[in-house]
Amino acid sequence: MLQFILVQNRQGKTRLAKYYTPYDVRCWFLIDQFLDRGLDDEKVKLKGEVHRLVAPRDQKYQSNFVEFRNFKIVYRRYAGLFFCACVDSNDNELAYLEAIHFFVEVLDTFFGNVCELDLVFNFYKVYAILDEVFLAGEIEETSKQVVLRRLEFLDRLE
Amino acid sequence: MSSLKSFIKSVRAAKTMADERAVIQKESAAIRTSFREDFTDTNLRRQNIAKLLYLFTLGERTHFGQIECLKLLATSKFSDKRLGYLGTMLLLDENQEVLTLVTNSLKNDLNHPNQYVVALALCTLGNIASQEMARDLFTDIEKLVVTQNPYLRKKAALCAMRIIRKVPELEERFVDKAKSLLGDHHHGVLICGMTLAYDLCVEQPNLIPQFRQFIPSLVRQLKSLTTSGYTPEHDVAGISDPFLQVKILRLLRVLGRGDQSATEQMNDILAQIATNTDSSKNVGNAILYETVLTILDIDADSGLRVLGINILGRFLGTKDNNVKYVGLNTLSKVVELEPNAVQRHRNTILECLHDADISIRRRALDLSFDLINEQNVRVLVRELLVFLETADTEFKANMTIQICVAADKYAPNKRWHIDTVLRVLKLAGNYVSEQIISQFIALVSNTPNMQLYTVQKLYSLLRSDITQEGLTLAGAWIIGEYGDELLKAGTFEDEETTLEVKESDIVQIFEGLLYSTYATQTVHEYVLDALVKLSIRMSDPSQIERIRRLIMSQTTALDVEIQQRAVEYAELFGFDDIRRGVLEKMPAAVIREDRKLQPEKKAIKSVTRVASQPKSETDILLDLMSGGFDDMPQSSAVASANGDLLSMALGGGNFPPLPTSPSLTNGKANGQTTGNTSDLLADVFGGSPSTASAQPQANGQQQSINDILGLFSTQASSTSASASAPVSPPMQISSPTLTQTLNPPVVNPAGGQTYPSYPAYAQNGLTLTLQPIRDGTTPAGVVNILASFTNTGSIPLNHITFQVAVPKTQHVELRPISKADLAPGESASQAVRVSASVGAQVRLRLRVSFGKGGGGEEIVEQVLFNQFPADLLAS
């Protein structure tokens, strides 16, 4: 099962962050009143950790899997973007690698040769696409056509 | 208010971090104000939420928008709803209280006539449903799982999975639904159905038999996927819906596990996939990998299993690091189940040692050690030694241990064993732990016919290289001990030519060692010991004088330990009549099985003291039993015990049972084979353990020996050298020294937090209670426990010994018992100190042994004690 999906660029700027398990977001009103700290401390820390783990890895000589806490990160780099999926340690890494690629292919067809800027300006659409491919941390649809047709309908409804 | 696009642009346009923060904060403030002021304008609200989501992606605080999201999703306009749900999913999670407010909207939307609205609600439910929501909404999901619309069906299936994860008792509502999904014609629904069924089976194994009836249909589906040819809808690199294939294989795995007939039904298709899947692309390998996992997990026949392992072997041979990685990972999981099949890929595994990726190298290394057995130990260890030379520094320490363990376990003969350790010392002498050296010394001292060979080898090795600390230490000890044989037989250049070794050559080497820049404190200590021993193994007076001068030169050493040794040894030169006696050869060290080196998996950082980390609970008991007090506290034993120690320390006399400190001795009832002589040897002759400070007991023990040595020198001069060594120092002097040094912390029963006494044992006339004591001065994570013994019977109890073991993450120290023999009605006490991590539960394994009456029956009892309050170490 997916724990979270992160898309980060080489500088560590997050372009997409989706969590399928809660990552310690504490009682917001408490933090608001008494602490002058960010709400999502844990998530910020996590993003930094993932970036430091993944970014320096060699593309050619190293595998696309890194152990992370009790999980594994399966990542793949497309141009300047790292697509990282954190999965359970007994999950099939190769299949998730393929799933990442599937997601990127959908993005590519949807935006027509996708680039980082597409993700920046249309981030809410990216989230919508993600929700059509993964749900509750599991892959939901494996046909590109079905996903794209669905997205088309949804956009027409707006 | 700017639009979302211009906001993003201005964030991106910011030149510095500070600029960016300013832009973000300004916008964030604007959004808050807008939330407070405009209640009606949904367009504005939508824009704000969109910006908020951007802020979320950047990692900013967004909680203030949660309620606004909920408002947005409750509106009727689809685009508002869509953004509202999107925001809810991102900004909230299952632990947020606000989430309860969503439940009602979700309920409405799940019954909405528009399928897209229902889909949004399903998606939200699937991603962030809390336990409460799961209970409230499962009936709607039940309906939707069997709806006509495949788009909703698949989402509902995953929602059902989420609901069951949150509320397991709801599963029976979904079992039949899940079954109906397994025959679905729509791939998306099928894949979600498989996931649901898998989850049900894993969460609730008693459902597995019910699902076994679907094996034939699953097999059929798999077959049609693999033979269907090109399907444009789901094709990935020429393979038809690999994701579905993986899911089916995974479901088959849980269904086939442990069931013969189920396994038989899937054997064929597994073999078919394993042989026919194209392994040139990642997709194919993903399927192959899943197939292998299934084959190895179910009771597949041996042919199929070998096929599976061969696939993994093939993975190792590819250029793709990902595939190599999963291959190695899986092989190391199955090496114990299928040793022979894995052995066949030994060479490929060894090749992976030279891979460019360090994580692959590490896995290959672990696997190589798992592969070693009697038959291949020569080949594999040779390969590993070659690798040791070039291995990454972080591997070396662990490798030295692993190689030595393997050599110890599988050595075909002693010569090979000694050669192997020598090679390890030569190649990675700076990374070996003291344990390896003391084991090696014990090995040599137990193998008289190899002593000459070893000393010759070490002599020539030391002549060429003094940079490896481990080699230097072993060499110093062995040459010091067996130097006379070296002098007699000479050394060899090659196998044939022997060269004479002059006494001056040996002293020369030690002189070089003493003044070399590589010499650590421990090296100095070993060299001093060796020199003083050599002083009686040599005959040339001029060389003996040279040795004396060398030792004298260290009497001004800055290190107190070295200085003390030097002073004592220099003093010893004044007593020629006893010097010869005390510096006699050491008797062969006893090697105890349970003190042997234990490999520690992933022991990369700290390997010292690795041997004291036993594997299983029972070992812990044996090992951590602080039973060194077996004979120590009993008054009469002390004097002779110290005497023994003394004679031991100086290498004289027989090898009597060793009374030692708790950290070293194990709880054997009579201290008969208080093994770990090697340890003691190392400690006595080798000086301080490298990590002495980390282990208070080691320190204490070290010191106690020093104290004895100290005692000896003063004692010897004052008693005008009684004819024979060893001298037994009077008990009243040494005894307090020992106990003080062993147990610095003084237990203070008064003051501080009081706990009740917990009865731990009451049988055979002996009552034992344990009372934890913690006061303000007790450090966090430490508790003192007062053990009280009372003789409630009518006959005297004697030789009461009390031993305590804790889990290996914790640490225990024992003070001696106040009185080991109890007359009826008498009581005694003993202090125990347990250190663990803060908040840990203190669980003890106790062992009490005592004799009833004079020479009556011996009673040994073990109990598990875990009645202490769980919060004992809470602060």
Query: Which residue of chain B has the CA closest to A46?
Result: B59
Q: Select the residue of A14, A38, A142 nearest B243 (Cβ to Cβ).
A: A142
Coil, strand, or helix at residue B837?
A: coil
Cβ–Cβ < 8 Å for B805, B621: yes
* Of the listed ranges B348-352, B409-413, B759-763, the one predicted with least confidence: B759-763
Mean pLDDT in residue range B262-285? 87
* φ, ψ for residue B779, nearest 5 deg: -65, 160
pLDDT bucket at B598, cuts 50 / 70 / 90: low
Please give the pLDDT value at position B738: 37
Whether A115 and chain B come into contact, CB under 8 Å, resolves to no
Please give the pLDDT value at position A87: 92
- Sequence-ordered list of residues with C-beta below 8 angstroms from that of A87, at least 6 positions apart, any chain: A1, A2, A3, A71, A72, A73, A74, A93, A96
Task: Give B726's DSSP letter.
Answer: P
pLDDT at B534 over 80: yes
Q: How far is CA A85 from CA B132, B362, B533, B606, B779, in A?
A: 28, 23, 64, 32, 42
User: For chain A, what is the total number of helices (H) and then of strands (E)?
Assistant: 6, 7
Query: Which residue of chain B has the CA closest to A13?
Result: B58
Token output for B51: 């910006």
Q: Please give the ipTM for the structure prediction.
A: 0.91
Chain A residues with beta carbon closer than 8 angstroms to that of B356: 58, 61-62
Please give the pLDDT value at position B343: 87
Coil, strand, or helix at residue B480?
A: helix
Cα–chain center distance at B422: 27
Please give the pLDDT value at position B246: 93
Residue range B543-574, pLDDT digits in tens: 889 999 999 998 888 889 999 999 999 988 88
Q: Select the residue of B53, B93, B188 nearest A123 (Cβ to Cβ).
A: B53
Average pLDDT over chain B, rounded to whole? 78
Check CB contact under 8 Å for A95 and B243: yes
Q: Select the residue of B64, B188, B324 nearest A140 (Cβ to Cβ).
A: B188
Position with higher pLDDT, B629 vs A70: A70
Q: Which residues numbered 140-199 in B keep a CB inside 8 Å of some CB on A?
A: 151, 154-155, 158-159, 161-162, 187-188, 191-192, 195
For chain A, the C-alpha Rg in angstroms (whole number) is 16
pLDDT at B171 over 60: yes
Whether A65 and chain B come into contact, CB under 8 Å, resolves to yes
Whether B416 and chain A come into contact, CB under 8 Å, resolves to no
Coil, strand, or helix at residue B755?
A: coil
pLDDT at B706 over 50: no
Chain A residues with beta carbon closer than 8 angstroms to that of B53: 123-124, 127
CA distance B317 to B289: 15
Cβ–Cβ < 8 Å for B240, B225: yes
Task: Give B856's DSSP letter.
Answer: -
Residue range B300-335, pLDDT digits in tens: 788 888 898 999 888 988 888 889 988 998 888 888
Strand partners for B754? B773
Which has the closest alpha carbon to B337: B287, B403, B292, B383? B292
Residue to test with chain B: of A63, A67, A76, A156, most B Cβ within 10 A: A63
Kindly report the number of other CB atoms within 10 A of residue B430's CB atom: 18
Which has the closest alpha carbon to B431: B382, B392, B461? B392
pLDDT at B647 over 70: no
Instruction: Please state, for a pLDDT cut of 70, what percent of chain B lies above it.
Output: 79
Chain A residues with beta carbon closer than 8 angstroms to that of B57: 14-17, 123
Pairing of strands A134-135, A138-139: antiparallel
Residue range A65-74, pLDDT digits in tens: 988 888 899 9
Position with higher pLDDT, A158 vs B552: B552
Check CB contact under 8 Å for B89 and A23: no
Which has the closest alpha carbon to B834: B772, B787, B788, B782? B782
pLDDT bucket at B856, cuts 50 / 70 / 90: low
Check CB contact under 8 Å for B82 and A65: no
Highest mean pLDDT among A28-37, A42-51, A125-134, B606-615: A125-134
Q: Residue type at B49?
A: I
* φ, ψ for residue B10, nearest 5 deg: -70, -35
pLDDT at B379 over 80: yes
pLDDT at A35 over 50: no
CA distance A93 to B246: 11
Please give the pLDDT value at position B714: 41
* Of the listed ranges B69-83, B590-604, B806-820, B830-844, the one predicted with least confidence: B590-604
CA distance B866 to chain A (A): 29
Judged by phi (left if over 0) then psi (alpha if -120 to 50, else beta), residue B825 lies in left
Residue range B233-257, pLDDT digits in tens: 777 887 888 999 999 999 999 998 8
Highest mean pLDDT among A94-103, B35-44, B182-191: A94-103
Residue range B661-674, pLDDT digits in tens: 343 334 333 434 33
Strand partners for B803? B847
Check CB contact under 8 Å for B243 and A157: no
CA distance A55 to chain B (A): 15
Q: Which residues numbered 19-48 in B keep a CB inside 8 Å of some CB on A?
A: none
Whether A89 and chain B come into contact, CB under 8 Å, resolves to no
Please give the pLDDT value at position A106: 93
pLDDT bucket at B495, cuts 50 / 70 / 90: low
Q: Select the residue of B86, B188, B323 nearest A142 (Cβ to Cβ).
A: B188
Please give the pLDDT value at position B593: 63
Residue range B180-229, pLDDT digits in tens: 888 888 888 999 999 999 999 988 888 898 889 999 999 998 888 888 77
Residue to test with chain B: of A6, A92, A120, A129, most B Cβ within 10 A: A92
Whether A117 and chain B come into contact, CB under 8 Å, resolves to no
Check CB contact under 8 Å for B154 and A47: no
CA distance A31 to B820: 59
Whether B279 and chain A come into contact, CB under 8 Å, resolves to no
CA atoms within 13 A on the CB side of B806: 20
Check CB contact under 8 Å for A92 and B233: no
- Sequence-ordered list of residues with C-beta below 8 angstroms from that of B623, at least 6 positions apart, any chain: B594, B612, B614, B666, B805
Which has the closest alpha carbon to B219: B193, B178, B180, B256? B256
CA distance B782 to B872: 9
Residue range A4-13, pLDDT digits in tens: 999 999 988 8
Q: How many beta-carbon pairs below 8 A join chains A and B?
A: 168
Check CB contact under 8 Å for B321 and A146: no
Cβ–Cβ < 8 Å for B582, B572: yes
